[in-house]
Amino acid sequence: MHEELATQGLTVITVALDRAADAERWIAKAEPTHPSLVDEAHLVAERYGMVNVPTVVWIDEEGRIARPNDVAFTTDQGGKFAGVSTAEQMARLRRWVAGEEPAPEEGTAASAADRSPEAQAARAHFGLGWWLHERGSVEAANRQFARAGELAPGDFTIRRGTMRLRDADPFGPDFMEMVAGWLGAGNSYYLPLRD
């Protein structure tokens, strides 16, 4: 997709909210030609208020947000799970690159962005946790990750994203339980843009 749309003026930048070692296994297989960045400390998540992946943001030629945080999958299976149509999203992206898709109305806000004081506090605890983890203070780090998750129960970049650091399986029972609890309280796991 990047090669196809690159000639029409689109640059794809991927950012992995992940440990380098975990992300690079996937990146090395894909051998991407586009910038493929690794964000272990979740700086991009903080700057864009991201709470889950996959999340895409369209940015125009002037560096402005043309379409804020939205759920987008590259596979139909993932799209179905999130309740979005992958084909429709791709078609819309192609139209935008071709200059045919009007941008969402100015001021359209992302559903999947959390700028609350609790979210910022959670990111501070995550930041301290990551720093402690890197220094080998694993238990101290886990206490910070736990606190971050309590403050921002809907932030899966924190709750699911730290599972491997806490020796939990992000595809196992801990994750299933986390999602069931979140959905059971009447929330959504994915928050597509409403426009």
Q: Footprint of another protein on residues 122-161 (CB under 8 A)?
A: 123-125, 127-129, 131-132, 137, 140, 143-144, 147, 157, 160-161
Give yes or no for a contact between 45 and 17, defined as CB atoms under 8 angstroms apart.
Answer: yes
Token pair in block for residue 191: 């928050």
Q: Please choose, from the candidates 105, 106, 18, the residue with its C-alpha nearest in 3D space to the C-alpha of residue 54.
A: 18
- The interface with another protein within residues 67-126 (CB under 8 A) comprises 67-69, 72, 93, 96-97, 103-110, 113, 115-117, 119-121, 123-125
| Least distance in angstroms from the C-beta of 102 to another protein | 11
The piece of 62-70, 79-87, 184-192 that touches another protein (CB under 8 A) is 62-70
| Least distance in angstroms from the C-beta of 11 to another protein | 5
| Least distance in angstroms from the C-beta of 117 to another protein | 4
Which residue, 121 or 186, has its beta carbon nearer to another protein? 121
Which residue, 84 or 123, has its beta carbon nearer to another protein? 123
Residue 43's contacts (CB-CB under 8 Å, 6 or more residues apart) are none
Which residue, 12 or 85, has its beta carbon nearer to another protein? 12
| Least distance in angstroms from the C-beta of 67 to another protein | 7
CA distance 21 to 37: 12
Looking at residue 113, the DSSP 8-state letter turns out to be B
CA distance 41 to 175: 21
| Least distance in angstroms from the C-beta of 131 to another protein | 6
Q: Is 179 in the site for another protein (CB under 8 A)?
A: no
Q: Please choose, from the candidates 16, 11, 39, 40, the residue with its C-alpha nearest in 3D space to the C-alpha of residue 26.
A: 16
| Least distance in angstroms from the C-beta of 180 to another protein | 17
Token pair in block for residue 137: 């203070």
Q: Is 11 in the site for another protein (CB under 8 A)?
A: yes
Residue 158 phi/psi, 5-degree rounding, is -90, -55
Give yes or no for a contact between 119 and 152, defined as CB atoms under 8 angstroms apart.
Answer: yes
Among 3, 7, 29, 47, binds another protein (CB under 8 A): 47
Place of tokens 């992946």: 53
